[in-house]
Structure 1
Amino acid sequence: MTASLDQLRRCHFAVDLGAARTRVYVKGTGLVVDQPSVAAVNTRTGALIAVGEFAERMTGRTPHYIRVVRPVSGGSVVDIEMAQRMLRQLLGDKTRRTLRRKPFLRAAACTPHDADPLGRRAAIETLVGLGARRVELVDTLLAAGVGCGLPVERPEATMIMVCGAAATQLAVLSLGAIVTAERIPVGGEAVDRAIVQHLRHKHELMLPSQSVRPLQIALSGNGLTAHGPTSTVITGLDVATGLARSVKVDTAAVRHAIQTPLTAVLDGIGKVLRDCPPDLVADLADRGIMMVGGSALLPGLDQMLRASTGMPVHIAERPELCAIQGLGAMLEGRVEPLELHLPADD
């Protein structure tokens, strides 16, 4: 990371293309885009109808000739052309004109830790299509660590957990690099799916995927912990009749239903700690785990991790913005590399 700080300071804008949301930071301006990574297209004409929040609200409500697409999956661009069109629309004409005036436009982008060469190439081509002459790639784990204020450049171990919609990434950081990392293909969407399947099988109830947030409704209060509410009422569609129906749901059963995806996250934490050098594990016992990402706000998740691991668990301030804020700090030159003060020769 230290070697690329100078290159990042030359960048003019940064993009965090996530499976759930897309965020854009412009140097000297700040965060200019924070919208869902969704686009709606007319399949008859190929015209782009809507992007962002408006396109997300159209999911499941469109006629057959309008298709709602997500050009980003699991943190990687899967449809370069659509991602470019979505970004152009989200940036708007004014911001695009401002960026095009730069004589040698440079961009930075977040990429998952285990992104393959094709995934990294797709991120580069997406931004090149917006006019960038050079694209710098930054590991999402490092960017999020900087964004939440962790001393990633110091010779001290810090553990970060990026809770995304499609996956959870874990890493131990020290001296501006990743010591060990693990990616678990379980995120907030997997937890929501587990709740939806439980309600369908147990109560024969379907939840509208976009109009409600299943986890927030089913696990209000203390959420995943046993100290939460014993029951809650949920309204959905009856599987047999297709009519609206309300049922009283036992939250203990819901907590049991989501243990399978959450157990995978706990296994990932154990693997990262086993692969970490003993001296760094001692640091982590004191500092604990820093949670970032939109799914870090799942109610009670931090308490469950704290009880299962015995380590301190913290949630970053505004965890969903940590990665793009970290990129912004690098662009603005607010991250200083570690300087070694060697003794002078006699």
Structure 2
Amino acid sequence: MTVSLDQLRRCHVAVDLGAARTRVFIKGSGLVVDEPSVVAVNTRTGSLIAVGEFAEKMTGRTPEYIRVARPVTGGTVVDVELAQRMLRGLLGEKLRRQLRRKPLLRAAACTPHDSDPLAQRATVETMVGLGARRVELVDTLIAAAVGCGLPVEQPTASMIMVCGAATTQIAVLSLGSIVTAERIPVGGNAIDHAVIQYLRHQHELMLPSQAVRPLQLALHGTGLEPTGPTATEIHGRDVATGLARSVLVDTAAIRQAIHTPLTAVLDGIGKVLRDCPPDLVADLADGGITMVGGFARLPGLDQLLRNATTMPVRIAERPEYCAVLGLGEMLEGHVQPLTLNPLAEAE
């Protein structure tokens, strides 16, 4: 982290390309873009019809010649051209004109922990399509830790859990670097899928694609804890007849369906703690785990982790924005590297 801080201070724009949402931070202007990572394309002409919020509303409602796509999966760009067009569309002409005034535009972008060189290259090419002459890649775990105020540059342990849409990343940080980390292919989408599969198998009910997240919120107003209403009425489509139908769903059974994918997250936390040096584990007994990302807001998830780890667990103040705001802090020069030899400087 101390090596690249000087280079990050020279950057003009920071981008967090997430599977669910894309966020852009411009130096001096702050957070300027926070939109879903979705594009709608006319397959006959190849033209871009919509990006962001409007494109997401079109999901499942388009004729056959309009394709709604997500060019980013699990924090990795899977379609560079579409990602470039999406970024340009989200920024708009006014912001793009502002960036074009920079003769040597430098950009910073988040990348998932332990991403392979091809994934990193795809991210760089996406930023180059935005006009960047140089691209700095920052591990999402470090950016998110800075964004939520953890003392990552100090010689003490800080444990962070980035709960994304497609993946969950867990790490222990110290002295500005990652000591041990784990990336698990379970995120908010896996929770959605668990709810969908339960309703399909147990009640033969199909849900609209945009109804899953509101369904989660309705069912889990009290989270993973067995309190609140015992049943909820859900509207969907019958698998056999295709007709609209309503069923009364047992909330306890839904909670049980959601617990299944969360066991992988608990296993990942256990592996990180087992690989961590004992001195740092002792620090974590006081500092605990900090949760960031949109999936962190699942009610009751923090209590589940407390019960499983017997460690303090807290949710960051603005968990969805921690990664991009952390990059912004580095761009603005608010993060100072640790002085490793203060006595030498005093002389």
Shift of 1:309: 1.3
TM (normalized to structure 1)?
0.97
Find the aligned partners of 2:296 and 2:133 in 1 and give their Cα distance.
35
Find the aligned partners of 1:103 and 1:42 in 2 and give their Cα distance.
34
| Alignment of structure 1 residues 7-26 onto 2, 5 Å | 7-26=7-26
Which residue does 2:41 correspond to in 1? 41
Please state if 1:218 is matched with 2:246: no
State the Cα deviation string for residues 92-138 of structure 1 (Å, max 9, x = none).
11111111111111000000011100000010011111110000000
State the Cα deviation string for residues 302-325 of structure 1 (Å, max 9, x = none).
111111111111000110000000
Shift of 1:212: 4.4
Q: 2:196–2:212: 8 Å Cα contact kept in structure 1?
A: no
Find the aligned partners of 2:85 and 2:251 in 1 and give their Cα distance.
42
Find the aligned partners of 1:186 and 1:320 in 2 and give their Cα distance.
17
| Alignment of structure 1 residues 122-271 onto 2, 5 Å | 122-213=122-213, 214-220=215-221, 222-271=222-271
Please state if 1:318 is matched with 2:311: no
User: Secondary structure at 2:3's aligned position in 1?
Assistant: helix
Q: 2:195–2:212: 8 Å Cα contact kept in structure 1?
A: no
TM (normalized to structure 2)?
0.97
| Alignment of structure 1 residues 104-123 onto 2, 5 Å | 104-123=104-123
Deviates more, 1:11-20 or 1:223-232: 223-232
Find the aligned partners of 2:340 and 2:188 in 1 and give their Cα distance.
41
Q: 1:14–1:328: 8 Å Cα contact kept in structure 2?
A: yes
State the Cα deviation string for residues 51-88 of structure 1 (Å, max 9, x = none).
00100110111000000011001101010011000100
State the Cα deviation string for residues 171-218 of structure 1 (Å, max 9, x = none).
000000000000000000001100111011111111111144232122
Shift of 1:296: 0.4
Find the aligned partners of 1:228 and 1:137 in 2 and give their Cα distance.
44
Task: Tell me the amino acid that sits aligned with residue 320 of structure 1.
Answer: E
Which residue does 1:93 correspond to in 2? 93
Task: Tell me the amino acid that sits aligned with residue 217 of structure 2.
Answer: Q
Find the aligned partners of 1:225 and 1:178 in 2 and give their Cα distance.
33
Find the aligned partners of 1:339 and 1:10 in 2 and give their Cα distance.
21
Find the aligned partners of 2:311 and 2:229 in 1 and give their Cα distance.
25
Deviates more, 1:116-125 or 1:234-243: 234-243
Which residue does 2:77 correspond to in 1? 77
Find the aligned partners of 1:316 and 1:82 in 2 and give their Cα distance.
32
Q: 1:218–1:234: 8 Å Cα contact kept in structure 2?
A: no
Find the aligned partners of 2:227 and 2:156 in 1 and give their Cα distance.
35
Q: 2:192–2:212: 8 Å Cα contact kept in structure 1?
A: no
Deviates more, 1:236-245 or 1:317-326: 236-245
Find the aligned partners of 1:255 and 1:206 in 2 and give their Cα distance.
18
Shift of 1:250: 1.1
> Would you say how many aligned residue pairs link Structure 1 and Structure 2?
345
- In structure 1, the gaps of 5 or more residues are none
Overall identity of the aligned pairs, in %: 76
Q: 1:37–1:70: 8 Å Cα contact kept in structure 2?
A: yes
Shift of 1:227: 2.8
Which residue does 1:291 correspond to in 2? 291
RMSD over aligned Cα atoms:
1.3
Which residue does 2:54 correspond to in 1? 54
Find the aligned partners of 1:139 and 1:284 in 2 and give their Cα distance.
21
